[in-house]
């Protein structure tokens, strides 16, 4: 009896891609199935190929097909990447950059928002994804609080259309969760929401997608590292918090060999105080040198230092990142960091 395509598909539904907690058929990962007598060739699309999940799925496909269709068949699995196929929900996104930190409150969202703004100002197509379940703040910073993203259909499935303001595409976990529900959203629910924001959404063609990650080292960090093709991470620190163990832990997590995401560099926020009326003055109220030491230790550059300025808080609260509002030491620092990042990813 000849093997039918549907039998293969039914069997493949038993193969789970753990990072996304679903089977490879429903995740649309099957690119092609060829059947010749007792030989089955399955082409599977992975977010990226240098990931341990590829080997796990590979073995599981061979085992499951033999188990369901007979030990005498031969199975050939061909893994391809979304980028190679020019397919997959994020295929149009050239560079995904995750902004991370050890602890909360160091200015991760401020850095994400202004980095997105600076990249846009320097001519790139940019999106920002706010994945911070515990404190989504990107909607406020971009003046789209309370708005809802649109829904369109793709391959017969509803997907979200990011909101757009100042020419930047925006999606946030904050569109779907009330502040007082945040704690309940930890764990797998948060992880699912994160996956939906990433892939059940229509980002279109972007040069950069900036992700404002939750602080620390949880489920979402692992999912991001394992199942998406991330160009690199930017680590935000402040001079007084840089020595803390959690900064190193966060950095090391993304750097673990099996995750293979490059740490592109450190952005030191609140480096010094610059009064608005004396833009040339620098007061190092939290001390100096700690970020350089960490950068040395991790062998990555300090991409830039952002001064403390009152205007940052004002502009953040009023819905337009400071880099878009005026030219001052903070916006200049962000423009400089954006330039460095662009050169870095061009060389990668
Ligand atoms: N360079 C700066 N100068 C002045 N204020 C700043 C600066 N950077 C951040 N802030 C302010 O500090 C507060 C915390 O910043 P932000 O929300 O960006 O931090 P976060 O790391 O994202 O925090 P959370 O962990 O709560 O998400 C905000 O009110 C912000 O406006
Ligand atoms: Mg934040």
For the chain, the structural domain boundaries read: 5-85, 93-346
pTM as predicted: 0.82
Note the helical H segments in 166-217: 188-199
Short-list 95, 104, 57, 42, CA closest to 241: 104
Residue nearest to atom 18 of ligand 1 (CA): 107
Mean pLDDT of 176-196: 74
**CATH domain 5-85 topology:** GMP Synthetase; Chain A, domain 3 (3.30.300)
pLDDT exceeds 80 at position 251? yes
Which of 3.90.1170.50, 3.40.50.300, 2.60.40.1180, 3.40.47.40 is the CATH number of 93-346?
Answer: 3.40.50.300
State the pLDDT at residue 287: 86
Mean pLDDT of 213-217: 85
What is the Cα–Cα distance from 282 to 271, expressed in whole angstroms?
9
What is the chain's mean pLDDT, rounded? 89
State the pLDDT at residue 115: 98
CA of 139 from ligand 1 middle (Å) equals 14
User: Is residue 208 within 8 Å of residue 116, measured between CB atoms?
Assistant: yes
Mean pLDDT of 38-66: 92
State the pLDDT at residue 288: 87
State the pLDDT at residue 186: 64
Residue 137, both tokens = 């703040």
State the pLDDT at residue 180: 67
pLDDT category of residue 172 using cuts at 50, 70 and 90: very high
User: Is residue 138 within 8 Å of residue 169, measured between CB atoms?
Assistant: no
> What is the CB < 6 Å shell around ligand 1?
101, 104-110, 132, 135, 137, 215, 269-270, 306, 308-309, 312-313, 316
Q: Which of 275, 313, 317 to mutate to test the pocket of ligand 1 (most atoms within 8 A of CB)?
A: 313
State the pLDDT at residue 20: 81
**Total residues found in the chain within this entry:** 348
Tell me the pLDDT tens digit for each residue of 59-102. 999 999 999 999 999 999 999 888 777 667 788 899 999 999 98
State the pLDDT at residue 118: 98
State the pLDDT at residue 205: 92
User: How far, in Å, are 19, 209, 261, 276, 342 from residue 58 at the CA level?
Assistant: 15, 29, 22, 58, 35
pLDDT category of residue 250 using cuts at 50, 70 and 90: confident
Number of H helices, E strands in the chain: 12, 15
Nearest ligand by distance to the CA of 215: 1
pLDDT category of residue 176 using cuts at 50, 70 and 90: confident
């Amino acid at each position: 009896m000849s093997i039918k395509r549907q039998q293969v598909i039914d069997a493949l539904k038993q193969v789970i891609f753990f990072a996304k907690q679903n089977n490879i058929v429903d995740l649309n990962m099957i690119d092609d199935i060829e059947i010749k007598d007792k030989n089955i060739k399955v082409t599977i699309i992975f977010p990226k190929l240098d990931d341990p999940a590829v080997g796990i799925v590979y073995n599981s496909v061979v085992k499951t097909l033999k188990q369901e269709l007979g030990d005498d068949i031969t199975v050939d699995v061909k893994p391809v990447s979304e980028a190679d196929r020019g397919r997959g929900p994020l295929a149009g996104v050239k560079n995904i950059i995750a902004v991370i930190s050890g602890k909360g409150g160091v200015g991760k969202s401020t850095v994400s928002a202004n980095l997105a703004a600076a990249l846009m100002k320097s001519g790139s197509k940019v999106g920002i994804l706010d994945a911070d379940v515990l404190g989504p703040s990107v909607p406020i910073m971009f003046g789209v609080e309370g708005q809802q993203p649109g829904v369109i259909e793709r391959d017969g499935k509803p997907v979200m259309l990011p909101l757009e303001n100042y020419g930047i595409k925006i999606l946030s976990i904050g569109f779907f969760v009330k502040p007082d529900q945040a704690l309940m959203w930890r764990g797998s629910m948060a992880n699912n929401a994160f996956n939906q924001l990433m892939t059940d959404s229509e980002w279109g063609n972007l040069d950069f997608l900036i992700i404002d990650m939750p602080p620390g080292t949880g489920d979402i960090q692992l999912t991001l590292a394992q199942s998406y093709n991330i160009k690199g991470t930017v680590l935000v620190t402040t001079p007084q918090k840089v020595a803390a163990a959690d900064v190193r832990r966060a950095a090391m997590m993304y750097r673990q060999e099996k995750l293979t995401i490059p740490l592109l560099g450190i952005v030191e926020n609140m480096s010094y105080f610059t009064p608005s009326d004396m833009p040339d003055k620098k007061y190092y109220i939290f001390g100096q040198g700690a970020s350089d030491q960490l950068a040395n230790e991790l062998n990555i550059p300090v991409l830039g230092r952002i001064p403390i300025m009152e205007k940052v808080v004002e502009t953040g609260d009023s819905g337009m990142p400071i880099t878009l509002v005026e030219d001052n030491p903070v916006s200049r620092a962000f423009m400089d960091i954006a330039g460095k990042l662009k050169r870095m990813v061009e060389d990668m």
